[in-house]
Structure 1
Amino acid sequence: MRFCSVMAVLAMAALAQGTRPESIDAYIAREMQARRIPGVAVAVVERGAVTFKKAYGVANLETDTPVRTNSVFQLASLTKQFTAAAVMMLVEEGKVKLDAPISSYIENTPASWSSVTVRNLLTHTGGITPGAIVRVDGTPLIDITAARALDFVSKPPLMFRPGEGAFYSDTGYFLLGLVIQKASGHAYRDFMQTRIFDALRMTDSTMLDKWKVVRNSVPVYTIHDGRISHWRRDWQYEVNAFAGVCSTVEDLARWIAAFRGESLLKKTSIEQMWTPARLSNGQDALVTGDAYGFGWMLSGYRGHRVVQHAGASGTFLLHFPDDDLSVIVLTNLDGPSGSRPASLARGIAGYTRDEFRPPETLEPRPDPAPETTRMLRDLLSDLGGGKESSILTVEHQAFFKRLPPEERSDVTDLFQSVRSLTFIAADVSSPGVRRLSQPVSRICYYRGEVAGKTFYFTFWLTAEGKVAYLNFYPV
């Protein structure tokens, strides 16, 4: 009882010191309207205690049911961190070895998978075809058994040799579900229920089951032909270890709080999950531009180390491990339709602590290093003119060259159209922040005018002044 009282005091103290509920309310209302999001549930967790939680909008457009903080959302790919945790629990028990071939746990695998390991699957470095949804003549099956899925994903050749590349793969996590079943002796969904949901008192969490009626469940919407429509992901997947967890912001607050201690996993296991995977050449294994651990994207924000993941259903979990802060955002509009839950989470973090305010909300400051700004402006000019630049790290030069020709052409055209670059702010990076395998020393933020539009640019700089990574986005 005393523990609960202490946690409540800490929660109220944190709320008084930082989180601004009225500002978050106004921010969410603006973003929901701009992005056409029907409903959102949000939670902020600081030092293991929930300091803010609230629901907004409509859960079900047909019944006009409001979103609540115990509304059950489909998490989609946030499931991967649960699957990775389950694997690490079995590693701790000696039932799974990270560097064992997956053929040790899965029968009838093709010969081409002989050197694919459990670690490869966790880090998307196995080279196995990424698509896990069984299709016939391009149309997904309604009922997808584990046997049918395994047969389907076993046929294509490897995309690259295991450990020599990285490509985001739902298939890899489906296969990890089979590994969990073999090593534990239990069905994947039963393992998740007893070993994770029940153990952490995640009482409203469950595995997606199209046959099951789930109280307070929230459908996912998409924008089709300009109108809000049903998402149409109607398949029943027997071992959905890549996208099958359904949960609430309240339960996810318990989930992320479990990473503070050792109630779920040992600290050494958590550290492995949050360590960038390496390719056989020693470089970080990059997935959509970010390093990847076991079920978590690893990146940095405003100079702070973050571990995070998105779900295509419009969900995001943002965690600052060195600052003991997490932001959970669950929407019911899919990501491709523009819900942008990652941006929402970062905005909420900024209303929780000023040091996390998004750069686009800051007013320009006097430029402390005009020579750096000139260098970065010259970099954009060189890239826009199709020239190589020594200002980029070798790793970034190689990354830029690997972009598909059409995408690279779009980027160079944009850089060629930059008319101004105005300094906004700079952060000193924490020691754990890396981009494209290189440690980052400083991060600089700019506002730019590009072909009559306003863009925001972020440059990650090494201690030597090289650009390890750059990112840009329009207002």
Structure 2
Amino acid sequence: MKLIFLKQSLSFIIIALVMQYTYSQTLETQIDSIITIVFNDKEGPGGVFLVAKHGKPIYKKAFGKANMELGVNMTPENVFQIGSMTKQFTSLGILMLQEQNKLDVNDAIVKYIPDYPNGEHITIHHLLTHTSGIKDFTKMKSIMSIARKDLTPKELVDFFKDEPIDFQPGEKFAYNNSGYVVLGYIIELVSGTTYEEFIEQNIFKAIGMNDSRYANDREIVKNRAYGYHNRGAFTNKMYVSLSIPYASGSLMSTVDDMLKWQEAINNNLLVSQSTIDKVFSKNTLNNGEQFTYGYGWHLKNIDEVPTREHGGSIFGFKSMGVYVPSLDIYVVGFSNCDCNSPTITTKNIAKLMIDTFKKN
């Protein structure tokens, strides 16, 4: 009798393991097929994708080359410039200072930058939510005159601050890199340290993001993925001083470190839950109209399931991250060619994960 029971138990365990293996293989195959629609050139630039459930990676793979000239394959440990995903870190930096009572998001920026035009009407909240109306310096025709210059944050702010405003603060939502440059400058003025040092000490080191840093094209960066353009043929990325994207887009990271970042947010390791609630609250314009941006994240949905999203684009690189709070699913993708955007790919993987886990 015992022998029969043991055989039945072993059979059940084997069947369960086979089913689990088949399921994981099927999910892996499905994710592979989504990614290789775009990231299918084994000899060209590639990317890295990570999918996590409950904070644990269930998929992590690299595609293509990290360095085309040397024929170096991409690995999941490669370090990428993440472009505007930097804004998440700038936002949390501001809110960490608010929790220390060193600033308030309702403060007018003239409190910190006395000579800022119209600064008495523009608040930190306006900067965080892209509703300030100040000119986006990346859209100015004169941007190339400073693109290769190493500017101080004050010099960069001075470059655009006297431009006519596009609209009155709070009147519209218009994605704006200048606002996050000003936020970075305010972090420096309030903290008494550089933006780079503030993020390094208070975020990266605090939560163990050991492979993340302020980007630098001159220093040796272990496991760096090199950036490329494709304008009829692949070329190395154009040189731009990384003092220019600054607090709006100058950080580097890995997919594993970005998962640590997501987990730090989920577990209130840097700011309180009440602050996190504010970060992920939709905001309203002066006329009461609601828009789908919090503080550093787009607040959208996939198949009516709420998501928190943000991408990035900087010379030679693109990035995208999607978090699904209700299912605790995080998907992040990096590309080392600005010709291959991971945005649709990452969203399609998130959709697959939603469809898969909503059924279970």
TM-score above 0.5? yes
Q: 1:93 to 1:348 in 2, by over 3 A?
A: same
Is 1:246 paired with 2:252?
A: yes
Within the candidate set 277, 282, 286, 1:276 is matched to: 282
Kept in 1, the 8 Å contact 2:154–2:185? The answer is no
Structure 1 or 2: more strand by fraction = 1
Question: 1:300 — aligned with what?
Answer: 301
In the alignment, which residue of structure 1 is the partner of 2:4?
A: none
The change in CA–CA distance for 1:233 and 1:125 in structure 2 (over 3 A counts) is farther
Residues in 1 aligned to 2:266 and 2:143: alpha-carbon distance in whole angstroms: 47
Cα deviation digits, residues 192-234 of structure 1 (max 9, x gap): 001110011010000012332211111222221x222233142
SS in 2 for 1:150: helix
* Correspondence 1:159 to 2:175: no
**Are the structure 2 counterparts of residues 35 and 179 from structure 1 closer, same or farther at C-alpha, using a change threshold of 3 Å?**
farther
Q: Is the 8 A contact 1:299 1:305 kept in 2?
A: yes
**Could you tell me how far 1:92 is from its partner in structure 2?**
1.1
Give the Cα–Cα distance (whole angstroms) in 2 for the partners of residues 231 and 193 of structure 1: 26
Query: Would the alpha carbon gap of residues 62 and 243 (structure 1) be closer, same or farther in structure 2, given more than 3 Å must change?
Result: same
CA RMSD of aligned residues (A): 2.5
- Give 1:107 shift: 4.1
Q: CA deviation at 1:16?
A: 7.9
2 CA distance for matches of 1:239 and 1:32? 26
Could you tell me whether the CA contact under 8 Å between 1:38 and 1:58 is conserved in 2? yes
Correspondence 1:149 to 2:156:
yes
Aligned to 1:69: 76
Alpha-carbon contact 1:145-1:239 (below 8 Å) kept: no
Normalising by structure 2, report the TM-score: 0.86
* Aligned partners of 1:42 and 1:55 also within 8 Å: yes
1:319 is the counterpart of 2:329: no
Which contiguous aligned blocks of 4+ residues in structure 1 show a shift greater than 3 angstroms? 13-19, 34-37, 132-141, 350-353
Distance in 2 separating the partners of 1:210 and 1:350: 35
Structure 1 residue 15: deviation in Å? 8.6
Q: CA deviation at 1:35?
A: 12
Q: 2:208 maps to which residue?
A: 201
Distance 2:62 2:259 in 1: 14
| Gap runs ≥5 in structure 1 | 1-12, 286-290, 358-475
Gaps of 5+ in 2: 1-18
Aligned-pair identity (%)? 29
1:349–1:356 contact (8 Å) kept in structure 2: no
Work out whether residues 134 and 144 of structure 1, in 8 Å CA contact, stay in contact via their aligned partners in 2: no
Q: Are 1:40 and 2:40 counterparts?
A: no
What pairs with 1:447-458 in structure 2 (closer than 5 Å)? none
Compute the displacement of 1:34 (Å).
8.0
Q: Secondary structure at the match of 1:264?
A: coil
Are the equivalent residues in 1 in contact too, given 2:50–2:59 (CA < 8 A)?
Answer: yes
Residue in structure 2 matched with residue 187 of structure 1 by the alignment: 194
**Distance apart, 1:165 and its partner CA:** 1.2
Letter in 2 for 1:66: N
Deviations 1:107-139 (A, max 9, x none): 4312x2221000000000000001258875853
The SS at the match of 1:20 is helix
Name the structure 2 match of 1:118.
Answer: 124
Code of the aligned partner of 1:319: Y
Instruction: Please state how far the C-alpha of 1:69 moved relative to its aligned partner.
Output: 1.4
Cα distance in 1 for residues equivalent to 2:164 and 2:296: 24
1:177 aligns with 2:177: no
Shift of 1:150: 1.6
